[in-house]
Amino acid sequence: MRVIRAAVVLCAVTAAPAAQAAPDGGVPPVSPAAAAVGFLDVRTVVPDAVLDLRYATANNFVGAQLYPADARCLVHESMAPGLAAAAAALRAQGEKLVFWDCYRPHEVQVRMFEAVPNPAWVAKPGPYSRSHEAGRSVDVTIVDAAGRPVDMGTDFDDFSARATAYATDGVSAAAQANRARLRTAMAAGGLAVYSGEWWHFDGPGAGVQRPIIDVPVD
């Protein structure tokens, strides 16, 4: 969920996840504005991705729907090889990646910080875009072959010490092993976990400050 933002605009829990599948297996093209900044729909590189975009529902820490109901998981094209590799590693074990959040518009980050104005848990919007706001970070988990959520010890956006990536206190050995398996799969694609959140992974250049990207998520 981590993000910091820019002031320059570049124009252009545990519930079973609900999968969004494109009609007939096809993925509609992203908007011209999204394409112009190098964004793609994650399903073009992870066809079996399970989308449970929490901010497209009220099932999130804000308690309100922040994205359109038909929001898509948009990521920068630089993340494509890594996500494909991570999904392949999990697929070989009969598991699938679940996406909780991908690209996040600046205005959404502002609303999040207004709801929880604590930078220890929610990044304060700032003068540059990076991480989710640049489409270069994702929040993910795993489902098993039957589509059941794998136990990770906490739900998404759990503001407690148990949610840190390497937590042991209050986190079962099984959940620790499941988190490690997720980290290993993501690392196979060169994606690095954020130590403060077991579900947050950064792609290449996630920490680079960029102008704000303001494109539709649907």
Instruction: Give the domains, in start order, of the chain with CATH numbers.
Output: 9-19+30-213 (3.30.1380.10)
CA separation for the pair 94, 160 (Å, rounded): 30
Instruction: Specify the pTM.
Output: 0.88
- Predicted local distance difference test score (pLDDT) of residue 18: 40
* Angle CA 130–151–207, to nearest 5: 10
Cβ(153)–Cβ(47) below 8 Å: no
> Residue 92's pLDDT band (boundaries 50, 70, 90)?
very high
Q: How confident is the model at residue 54 (pLDDT cuts 50, 70, 90)?
A: very high
In this prediction, residue 163 carries a pLDDT of: 97
Residue 129, pLDDT score: 87
Please report the sign of the dihedral spanned by the C-alpha atoms of residue 175, residue 93, residue 48, residue 130. positive
- Using 50, 70 and 90 to split pLDDT, how confident is the model at 1? low
The catalytic residues are 197
Contacts of 190 (CB under 8 A, 6+ apart): 81, 82, 85, 203, 204
Strand, coil or helix: what is 41? strand
